[in-house]
Homo-oligomer: A and B are copies of this chain.
Amino acid sequence: MTSARPVTQHESGGEGGSVLTAAAIAQLTGGRLEGDEHASVSSVASLDRAQAGQLSFCASPKYASQLAGTLASVVLVAPDVARAASGGGTATRVVVEKPHDALVSLLPRLYRSPAAEPGIHPTAVIGRGAQIGDGVSIGPFVHVGDGARIGARSVLDAHVVVGTGARLGEECQLRPSVTLYPGAEVGNRVVIHSGAVIGSDGFGYVFRDGRHEKIPHVGRCVIEDDVEIGAGTTIDRGSIDDTVIGAGTKIDNLVQVAHNVRIGRLCMIVSQAGISGSTRIEDGVVIGGQAGLQGHHTIGKGARIGGQSGVFGDVPAGESWSGYPARPHREALRAQATLFRLSAMLKRIEQLLASFGQKDQ
């Protein structure tokens, strides 16, 4: 049975931060306070799991019934939910138009990111001629190669490898075991998660004399500002041209980006998507999980590619495509529906053809 004692930061799994009163929450979110203005919270949880001292939210009438039973001290509530569940429960409410957005805005006040201490761990190995900016934090067993440059206030967690001559901008965060190959160029405020590999050789060979001869890869791998790259993702360097990830683009886990791919600004690439060589992806494109893009095509500005799609040609700007092979989304849905419809009609079609004396060709 759950007691009503306040949870500690340890139990919540977060890194802990300050305490917010319901009055402060109402003021910060522009919301309307209903209940005890002195109710205070120090962490967040979902309605059904929250305990005393926690903040929760309810954005949909679908979950309004949970309001009565929640142990949360303060709940951010949408106006229609507040009306539907008036009087239910003991939690203090702050009524706001968009509870989830309000919660996201409050999170940085409740959860401080763990502040990495500036300095170079004594176990780290820093190469000849490497330049380390002010306030950089370098963790245990990091290897910064010869001639590499690390911008100010960047954080390199344990086991990060920055190859010879690679460049990393300011205020970047490289999680444990990230590898930047020699020559990789990473902008400012880039976040790269554990195990991601930036600037590996592309998959290029010519078959001659009875073997696959490797094409030397001499193009660059450029990650622009404000990019985030997920765990285990691999981004190859260019063969002769460059591989470029545009500013503000976010890439999920286990994504493959091949050589010479150019991705524009503010794209979203969901996990396990694969982008073949020399593909051009314009600004604002969204690519669903496990989608695969054949090489040498262009995905136009703002296009959306559905999860698991197989794209074998250009996709016009602004369009939504899906399926295998990918087609405009409505057309793909209609084709899928047709297939199941025809499956049910197959015998009748065969009988009809037979009754007209037509035979298989």
Contacts and interface: CB of A to CB of B under 8 A. Distances in A.
B182 A193 contact: no
Interface stretch (A77-85, A87-95, A313-321, A337-345): A337-345
A352 B356 contact: yes
B289 A289 contact: no
A268 interface: yes
A16 to B, nearest CB: 10
Contact of A176 (B179, B193, B213, B338): B179
A205 B250 contact: yes
Contact of A234 (B177, B218, B232, B238): B232
Contacts of A325: 336
- Copies of this protein chain in the complex: 3
A287 interface: no
B216 A203 contact: no
Given A271-B203, A348-B353, A177 B159 contact: yes
A130 interface: no
A26 interface: no
Interface of A: 10, 12-15, 43-46, 49, 57, 101, 103-104, 107-108, 110-111, 113-114, 121, 123, 125, 139-141, 143, 157-159, 161, 163-165, 175-177, 179, 181-183, 185, 193-195, 197, 200-201, 203, 205-206, 208, 210-216, 218-221, 226, 228, 230-232, 234, 236-238, 240-242, 248, 250, 252-254, 256, 258, 266, 268, 270-272, 274, 276, 289-290, 292, 294, 307-308, 310, 323-325, 327, 331, 334-336, 338-353, 355-356, 358-361
Given A43-B218, A161-B176, A200 B253 contact: yes
Contacts of A163: 176
A86 to B, nearest CB: 25
A214 to B, nearest CB: 7
Contacts of A258: 271
A140 B201 CA distance: 21
Given A111-B216, A195-B234, 19 more contacts: A13-B183, A45-B241, A46-B241, A141-B143, A158-B161, A161-B194, A175-B181, A176-B179, A179-B231, A197-B231, A214-B228, A231-B234, A252-B256, A323-B324, A327-B340, A341-B346, A344-B361, A348-B360, A349-B349
Given A216-B107, A290-B290, A256 B240 contact: no
Describe A's contact surface by its main secondary structure: loop
A53 B211 CA distance: 32
Contact of A240 (B46, B175, B176): B46
Contact of A230 (B104, B141, B203, B351): B203
A125 B140 contact: yes
A231 B143 contact: no
A231 B257 CA distance: 11
A138 to B, nearest CB: 13
A241 B14 CA distance: 11
Between A44, A107, A339, the greatest number of chain B beta carbons within 10 A of the residue's beta carbon is seen for A339
A104 B218 contact: no
A113 B203 CA distance: 17
Given A336-B325, A346-B341, A268 B212 contact: yes
B344 A352 contact: no
B353 A358 contact: no
Given A46-B240, A212-B250, A218 B335 contact: no
Contact of A216 (B104, B177, B289): B104
